[in-house]
Chain A
């Protein structure tokens, strides 16, 4: 029998294999995205207006010293208790706000000696120059967590019906806003603002003392 030449391999499907691999990598590779705590700094105010008098009970002082110890309301506590202490303070609702309304959504103990209303409750944070950034971030994280917890609670109280499947309603709302950033949804924005207004983030940071 005569020696036959090998038939040419059909390379037409090679492109399909290549695309298959390409799509696989496209789907599985995630691009690293930076995440962090978003905060607003207060603008520099040169006007010499007498700062409003804030009553001691509406002020929640958080101090970190140079040895990274935490002093909350003149009492040293471990960082694991900071979140609950902050929630208790913000949610206390012992009195009325500027407009004379009492906090009907607060679920706190309504103590006389703690904050009047979430509108009035201010967290004042101060740290030493030699506090490490890690500790500083831990404390910031706990304080933000306290606000997020309360906002989450209010969001699920008010808007759970629109997000029946969401475990965290406020997060779901923010995600939806993110998704529709090119088509503004007024109703959604208004709801987010409502939640933020119930527990406005009033976190003031004092400058550390210069040595």
Chain B
């Protein structure tokens, strides 16, 4: 087996808060190969964004990486000095955020920002850097890139701004790109444009892509494999098609059932009762047990371990489903009224 481009092992991120130490990410492991797309799915507070930030070494106090390892091209990032991380960040690992204005400086022109990003990592002339910036803009589908280089971020529309952020992230041909819900705020047609461009760019450059989202349907079309997070843990992982067709974990099944669509019109959606637990007050057993239709006594006392299943899959569940979501077994769990 080849060395994965991104290898995250037993990552644990904690935040010290007034309510005590909160473990936002607890024992997360995954690996992404070159050119591969991994979807990291979860609801608010599941730890998916914190995982993404940890990969870039962007966890600030009161948060810290308490344990685990993050390797990019076999280089360990955890424990590195800020100076060493700056060399990696933007070069080997890059990130796109939900709001492109997180990336872009509103008072600097696009060319200034893009040239800076190139020259921070490489000894090239300003002219050469500008040319590369222009090519990058053209590649993400920005019309008349030469003129647009002289524009300020506020002169772009939302979709165009996100493209500029993507072009900037890809400037130094990173080995790993972490994308945190970059299309959530965009219209469907613009989302499709950006998805198609990111897809093409990553295939072309062999960039490993981690796509963080709450939207399972985006993952369905984009990713090769998926990891579903709940309360700081990966509760299920595997190839996208398999996970969506035959979810093992009841939470995954619940998420799939919650997605509104035509074949469920008029009928109530298979909703998950209750809401996501507070990380500071997690139950001793499986964090999902209070909302789960299949929970039994062990679920409430013993935290489920990661169990591998055939076909490169794994889940943390005492009562794995392993049945398609529309069989009678899943219907039985359907909660009809709130």
A and B associate in one complex: no
What is B's interface to A at a CB cutoff of 8 Å? none
Interface residues of A (CB under 8 A from B): none
